[in-house]
Chains A and B, each alone.
Chain A
Amino acid sequence: MVETSDIRVVRCGGSKVNLTPPIISSDSRFVLCTSGDLVKVYSTRTEEWLHSLQGHTNQVTGITLNPANHLQVYSCSVDGTVKLWDFIDGILIKVQLVEVHETVEIFLSSGLCVSACPECFQLVSVHLPKSAEQEVEAKEMSAVSSHISKNPSCTAFGRGGEYIAFARHLQLNVYFFRKQKTYSFSLKATDKKGAKNAFTCIACHPTDDCIATGHEDGKIRLWRNFIHKKEYTYSTQHWHHNAVNTLCFTPEGTHLLSGGIESVLVQWQYGADNRKEFLPRLGGSILHISASSDGQLFCTSHSDNKITVIESSFKVCGVIQGLVKDAVLTDLMIDPRSKALVLNGKPGHLQFYSLLRDKHLYNLDIVQQEYIYEAGLDQFEVVKAAFDIKGSWLATVEERGKKSSDLEFFLKLWAFDERTQSFVLNTTITAAHTDRIISMCFSSSEETTMLVTAAEDSQFKAWCQGADADTQQDQNFWSCDFVGSYHKLNPTNCSFSADSSLLAVSFQEVITIWSPDTWEMLTTLCQPPGVIRDLCFGRLSCSKYLLGTTTKNLLCCWNLLTCELEWSTSVDVSKLQPDPFSENVAAFSYQSKHTDLFVFKPSEPRPLFTNKNVCSEKVHRAVFVPREEPLNSCDESTQWLNRSQLYFLTQNMDLLTFSTATEEDRMLSSSKQLVIDDSVAVTPFYLLLGKHRQQQQKLNTQSHPVSDKPQQTQGSVTIKELLHTPAHVLPAASVLCSMFVNSFLISNTGVQQDPLSWLT
């Protein structure tokens, strides 16, 4: 078997940014949020992704600013480490190995870290050792309580870390660290008026001893005097009609912010409880709220994978949109022009998402109808989409009607308009078929574009662009060219060969091969039992092969020259994905509750690469994303990742990908470089220059996140020159300044125009 150790599954790009509360740096310039295995740093002003803190090997589950140094951030991950970063430069400062199995959430206060491990959900206080080494093991741990909720919002530090408040179900507990004593308070599950009192979130006032708790029925309670068993007291406020998802006090404690499914940010004045302000229509339901330390900015993260930056005057000033993965019905696709990932986004839209820059590009409104946010309504949704090979045509199918009796669907064809740089509706076909469209593909030849749709009415249709005879206009509309069927069987899939000379349409167990030029059925292939599920032609040197998977766990490979079965193997393939840039085909198989990946060439039945247990859920959607610059790995097992990267979507809507060791080394080396730079002795002059350099660096990273290295060296030459000159022979500061500024100027030659820049 091939070694798999240097390829691992990572969450990199398109991950959830709404998993944990975002944090705003103390100067309000940066927003930090967790995103898969990374911590991402965004600018609050431009909403741009600046850089990411890379180093965790599993999902990052919590971040918090270092209370001792506001330029540092702690992060914790499921991999069991707590890391300390300099988030402005993106440098890893310290790693703490925590001896619990998986840290799930981190809360920090005055050098004390509290984390929870998932099996038993314990609240553990971990003493972070003070040591100069970069990697230390935290051994000093004490369990606080096992009575905590799985929801991290239900735990919060109180006034300067004196105590921690945590709740589970109907019980609120307050643990005082100094006294090592827990006070608990219980509520009744319901009362006569039908209140649902379960706790959903907690926030503690920064200066007063007041705990705010949110409840399932939308009530907010403010608890006081909680060191008394009986004389504790609380006041109740009610505005939310559904569960309060999150609560947050402003740093001065003058206001309390709350949010829930209503997607309205509510600001309560602390002490004058019936004075409140609202910021409605923020999008998805609010999951987290955080405030900057000067109280000037608030951040809300939403269920539609979005972070909204809000000024304290209750004005939205920025939106950081992640990849929306609420209800993915289409396949994962790559827009050939922008190389962006395309899938369902907002309801009725297709979203274009750049995985390279991990940035949401734009939404394309397909349905062009107002979406009504109400449960139980049957509304149009985009269910299928396909690009042609050049990216100049986009075909979409939108559908309404869960039951086939009242099924309603449209086939739409969109042309790419060079002038507006977007897709424009060209043709709408109202009754393309009499029943639901199962599969759809464009021919892959460059000259003629042809669309084939296969539907449950046991027909497949070929659509061609032809001049409309009646209108005599230049614009060409799409019309039906050919209708094909085979023994009244329902088609299951269709696929064009790489040179578009052949079309394969599978009808239940039978694969029919057609010539698109003459519309003649060339041959039929059959390998019973089992209905054909997936169908794909080989590429490049393997284009004579046709691959098919059946529902009876068979993967077959036919040689089209001989029309014979080349090889077949018994494997339950849930998704077959050919790489458009190589011969490789990736197959995901689901067996005994985990998914395995096989990468193989159709010409040989031996896999190039296998990865057992990629994830625990079934994989139905995957895509090869072309790399911007190919890797030059010679290792056989990683070669298949040289030209493109494989992304796949699990049933939990996690977008995962594979990363190779070389790739990671490259990333790490760039950050190591910075660490060495940092080890220069700290002198006042260094501080002055260091500041300049940071600004410069930020400039670079903002505009060109990828190609920042050449300028780095150029800048450092000047700095070195300055550093090595003795202070007493240095020229006047004004002279120095212009030289310094000049060193920042970027020569035109080194920079390529970003191909995607028109999108931003």
Chain B
Amino acid sequence: MGEFKVHRVRFFDYMPSGIRALAFNQDTERMAVARMDGSVEVFHCSDRFFQEKIIPGREQCGIEGLSWVGERLFSAGLNGGITEYDLTNQKVKYTIDAYGGPIWTITGNQQGTHLAVGCEDGTVKLFEVNEDQIQFERNLDRQKSRIISLSWHPSGSKIAAGMMDMIQVFNVETGHSIHRMLADRGAGTSRSKECVVWSVVYLSDGTIITGDSVGMVKLWDDQTGTLIKSHNVTKCDVLALSVSQNEDSLVAGTSEGIVVQFQFVSMVLEKDDKEWVRTRTFRNHTHDIRAVAEITTAVVSGGMDAQLVVRPLLDKIEVRSAASALRKIHFPHRRLVSCARKSGLMLFQYPGHLELWRLGESEGKGTPGSSLFVKRNPEKLLQLKVKGEDHIRCSAVSPCGGWIVYSTASTLRLYRLHCDNNNISITKISKLPKVLSSANQLCFSSDSSHLFSASAQSSVHIASLSQSGCKFVGTLKPKSGSHQAIHLLAASEDGKWLASANSDHEVHIYNLQTQKAHCTVPVYSSAVTAMGIHPATNCLFMMHADQQMFEYSIEQKQYTDWSRTVQRKGLHRFWVERDTPCLNVMFNPQNPSHVILHDMYMLCIIDQSLPLPDDKTQFYNQLTLKSLTEEQRKSQSHAFKVCKTFKDRPLHLYVCGLSEEVCFIKRLQIVPC
């Protein structure tokens, strides 16, 4: 496996922020997630829930609702504005004010023509969705209390609104209220408290289902405006409801962290009189569930504990496979850590600031497995707060440790770092080329002489760095293809090649000497989650969300023989069934046949010189190998060497490759406030 010096980095206490809203787009199979810090993420449901797009948030921008209209995504929040997102370039397209005070909910009709928002002042405002913008159309009858939740009837002619202590049904044509249904307050002391109708769902058969702060899921008839049935789900609040596409299943998320499923089941078999019956209970959350969504094959829920839980519904799944397993997504599928390999610096990216740390140093060489004496403790050199309200989208530290760069949605800032022993000074490079105004992904060349900045239209800008400053060199543009934003960049060690991957799964390779597009890797159906260019052979190694791996020879413009062998023989079942994507591809400088991969829970070294395991061989064979003699070990070992624990503790990590060191970045337990 090779010997490494291991740094245990326990000072990156990144805290993901809680999930506030979910919106599922049936046609594109995308799940949009809004977090408490205002960021919006898009997950691809059929591609193993890979986090395709991240739109960073802003300060003071609490999103309360998300809604898809066709392939357009809208959000509304307590700042009173409705925001449309530019998903191609992963940024906010525009924000317009609804002039109704804080907005509590936003929902689009199924026809895709209108958006309805519920405001603090008691109005339901209808917006017409035009080609390029949305336009205010009119208000429905104004109510006395705030509108907490909204749901369109699938025909688009009626809207049900959940408010304080009541539910109103509006006719969209006239704008008048048809029914007013009172929600009961809780018994005992909570009688004095208002009953908040947190969530409402309008079914096509005219049933209105509400979840409220008393803990009830109530079913109402919209013809008569009467209560049909009520289910006491919990002692506290029912915060979220979601109905499946064919309206035979409903999930309710509660503030106890429980998701309760209701099913529309015929009470007498093979007869049509169906009723909503409480069936299953899912307990995967530790804190309040703020949003649930029932997609075709699974229940997705998210809440204050910041994890997105995908709970498969086994009765809807044809074949049980790794793609349909229970999935918990805690952390972004992006690298938030970059490191300066030559100087031992690490840059941690938080939403609102950056931290630069110098790793500790140790004396001499120890035997494998022993811990070394720490000569110098790790040290926090710098904390850099972001100017403005936007959160950081991407950041990088140059391999030499002399440059730091970060970008928000609006600005890109480059700093020169002077570091002589204990004196650290930082100077902002003031005159940046105009094209470097904002970046989707940032990367330095290996000799730290160039900065690559991925920007709009899938293009990459090159800037050369020198003592005097930063100078624009040129722009790399793909020959053809989509204009989706680039989310990964990889530069080769010799400074000759640059690879970029965008969210349409395209990987372009550019020749940096000619500044021309060199070639395009054949498009694979799954997203690229990590890639790297081998320093010796200049082969591009790519990891995909479905755990497949490819090695592409840049010079020969074709897949390498090893990659073809992998594809022909297939990967081991255990490898494919892992549920987090690989986040980093590194290479062992001492042994060119070693490729180092890691995901959230494990570190894997692939030895390309060893045979590939087939489904019959033992995949996790480290312990078995240890007990064997040298010769037996040779016959038993295979290409995948997986390390899941370090010092008997499970890894929970980002791994960064230094020259001959590996940093395990251990994270703190996530405890939401």
Contacts and interface: CB of A to CB of B under 8 A. Distances in A.
A226 B266 CA distance: 11
A204 to B, nearest CB: 12
B618 interface: no
A274 B281 contact: no
A224 B232 contact: no
Interface stretch (A232-240, A345-353, A428-436): A232-240
B569 interface: no
Given A225-B265, A272-B231, A235 B280 contact: yes
Interface string B255-290: 000000001011111100000011111000000000
Contacts of B263: 224-225, 233
Contacts of B27: none
Contacts of A646: none
Nearest to A209: B269
A3 interface: no
B315 interface: yes
A227 B270 contact: yes
A719 B277 CA distance: 59
Contacts of A274: 232
A236 B315 contact: no
Contacts of A275: 232
Contact of A233 (B231, B267, B268, B279): B279
Contact of A208 (B230, B267, B278): B267
Contacts of A209: 266-269
Contacts of B229: 271
Interface in A223-259: 224-228, 230-236
Given A208-B267, A224-B265, A230 B315 contact: yes
Contact of B278 (A207, A227, A235): A235
A236 B283 CA distance: 13
Interface in A275-289: 275
Contact of B315 (A210, A233, A235, A273): A233
Contacts of B277: 224, 233, 235, 271
A692 interface: no
A185 to B, nearest CB: 11
A169 interface: no
Interface residues of A, number: 22
A228 B270 CA distance: 11
Contacts of A234: 279-280
A235 B315 CA distance: 14
Nearest to A269: B232
What band does the interface of chain B fall in when counting residues whose beta carbon is under 8 Å from A? 10 to 19
A224 B279 contact: yes
Contacts of B230: 272
A550 B270 CA distance: 72
Contacts of B268: 159, 207-209
Interface in B366-400: none
B191 to A, nearest CB: 19
Interface string B214-235: 0000000000000001111000
Given A209-B267, A224-B277, A227-B269, A232 B315 contact: yes
A272 B229 CA distance: 10
B232 A235 contact: no
Contacts of B266: 209, 225
B270 A233 contact: no
Nearest to B277: A224
Interface in B303-358: 314-315
Interface string B228-256: 01111000000000000000000000000
A93 to B, nearest CB: 34
Contacts of A227: 269-270
B515 to A, nearest CB: 56
A275 to B, nearest CB: 7
B632 to A, nearest CB: 35
Contacts of A272: 230-232
Contacts of A271: 229, 231, 277
Contacts of A207: 267-268
Given A208-B267, A227-B270, 15 more contacts: A207-B267, A209-B268, A224-B265, A225-B263, A225-B266, A225-B269, A228-B315, A230-B315, A233-B265, A233-B279, A233-B315, A235-B278, A235-B281, A236-B280, A272-B230
3 cross-chain pairs, A with B, having the tightest CB-CB distances, nearest first = A208-B267, A235-B279, A209-B269
12 contacts: A159-B268, A207-B267, A209-B267, A209-B269, A225-B263, A225-B265, A225-B269, A227-B270, A233-B263, A234-B279, A271-B231, A274-B232
Interface of B: 229-232, 263, 265-270, 277-281, 314-315
